[in-house]
Amino acid sequence: MKSIIIGIAGGTGSGKSTFTNRLKDEFKDDVAVIYHDNYYRDQSHITFEERVKTNYDHPDSIETELLIQHLEELKKGNAIQCPVYDYSQHNRSDQVTTVEPKKVILLEGILVLADERLRDLIDIKVYVEADADERILRRVIRDVKERGRDIEGVVEQYLTTVKPMHYLYVEPTRSTADIVINSGKNPIAFELVRNSIKKILETEE
């Protein structure tokens, strides 16, 4: 079975998760979904206070080499044990999730197009963009409501690492994308990608 990897990148709060989850809801178990965030490096060796100060928007904060190994295994038809990240603890949890190989693999994350080795494995590259004000507002609401963060910490993190790293590492990857969309809820873009996935799934082995 040949697997097609669709990479969905974009800045924090751009709508890439919304777009990814819409595709997942559409195709259910016919597609596999992997979130780059789950590959944040294990930081059990440092204190919680130190983990809070880590720059999570720099490419070095993510164990991309492990993700690459996992994608290669999936392409070979082998299941993987995907790590699970605990946002409230700023650390990788002790849990794993089994991901089975599928004909279509959705790979989502702000930096999935930032590493050339990763880009080489991605067959369709999508970049989701949104106004910077909208992105920070979405980030604040999400991190406070869903990830157990306090608003002061979210704002400080955004100003000290998220914003500068976006312009340094995330936004430049826009030029590497095959498709650039202006919203995770863009109906035309969704139909285009949905139809592409449908054709892949309908293709004989």
Domain contains 201: no
Q: Flag whether 56 is in a domain.
A: yes
Rounded to two decimals, what is the model's pTM? 0.88
The residues facing 45 across adjacent strands are none
Q: At 183, which CATH number?
A: 3.40.50.300
One digit per residue, the tens of pLDDT, for the chain of length 205 reads: 789 999 999 988 888 988 999 999 999 999 999 999 999 999 999 999 899 888 888 999 999 999 999 999 999 999 999 999 998 888 999 999 999 999 999 999 999 999 999 999 999 999 998 777 777 787 778 777 777 777 887 788 788 888 889 899 999 999 999 999 987 788 899 999 999 999 999 986 5
Which CA distances in Å does 123 have to 6, 120, 154, 160, 176? 6, 8, 34, 33, 12
Domain interval for residue 85: 4-196
Q: Which residue has the tokens 């590492």?
A: 169
